[in-house]
Homo-oligomer: A and B are copies of this chain.
Amino acid sequence: MKKNIEQIVFSNRQVQIINVCIKLIADGGIQNLTTKHIAEQVGVSEPALYRHFKNKLDILKAILDEFKYTSQKEIMQINNSTENSLEKLKKIFFKRIETFCIKPELSTVIFSEEIFQNEEILSEKVMEIMQLHQQMILKILIEAQEKNEVKNNIPAEHLSILIMGSLRLLVTRWRMTKFTFDLDAKSKELWNSIELLIKE
C-alpha cells in the first residue's frame, strides 16, 4: 500500500516456466522442483532455462512476485469500489477462492510458507503478501465495525484471523483431499456461516 505496485512483465517462456514450477511444487513439494524436472516439463534443455532466469532462486522470486502483483491489483480494485464494507470482504474472500479454483496448484505453493523459508529474500516476500491481505482486510473490517455492518464486541484482528484462517483451512483440506470436493460450493456455504456469525 505504501509502495507502488510494480508492473512486472514476464516473457511467454518465463510465464510458462513459472507455471511449470508451480505445478511441480504442487505435485511433489519443493524437492520436486529441480532444473531437470522444470526443463522436462517445459520441453527444453536445462541450460535453456538460464536464458530466461538467472537461477533457480529467481524463478521462485518470480512466482511470488507474480502472485503478489496479481492479488494486489485485485484487492485494490475491490477496495476502490463503492460497495459496502461487508460486500468488499466477501468479494476478497471469493476472489481468492476463484484464483485457487482456476489454478489449484497455486494453493499448495501459496499456503506453504515452508517452501520459501530457506531464503531470506523469499520468506520476506511471503510475509509481504500475507500482510498485504491482512492489512486490507483489517482496514475494511474496522470500517465495517464503524458502520455497524459487523459486530463491535470482537476485535477486528480476531475477526480477520477467523475469516482468513477458515479460508486457508478450507483450501488446505481441499488440497489434501486432492481437490475432490467442490471448493466453490463449500466456500459459499462457509461464507454464509461467517456472515451469520459476524454480522451485528
Contact = CB atoms under 8 A, between A and B. Distances in A.
Interface of A: 25, 28-32, 108, 112-115, 117-118, 123, 126-127, 130, 151, 153-155, 158-159, 161-162, 164-170, 172-173, 175-176, 189-190, 193-194, 196-198
B155 A161 contact: no
A45 to B, nearest CB: 12
A177 to B, nearest CB: 8
A118 B31 contact: yes
B161 A190 contact: yes
25 contacts: A25-B114, A29-B117, A31-B31, A108-B114, A112-B112, A112-B113, A113-B175, A114-B115, A126-B176, A130-B176, A153-B196, A154-B193, A154-B196, A155-B189, A158-B166, A158-B193, A158-B194, A159-B193, A161-B166, A161-B170, A162-B193, A162-B197, A165-B170, A197-B197, A197-B198
Contacts of A161: 166, 169-170, 173, 190
Nearest to A153: B196
Contact of A169 (B28, B154, B168, B175): B168
Given A158-B193, A197-B198, A169 B165 contact: yes
Nearest to A116: B29
Contacts of A159: 193
A94 to B, nearest CB: 16
Contacts of A190: 158, 161
Given A30-B31, A113-B175, A153-B196, 12 more contacts: A108-B117, A114-B114, A123-B176, A130-B173, A158-B194, A159-B193, A161-B166, A161-B170, A162-B165, A165-B170, A166-B166, A168-B168
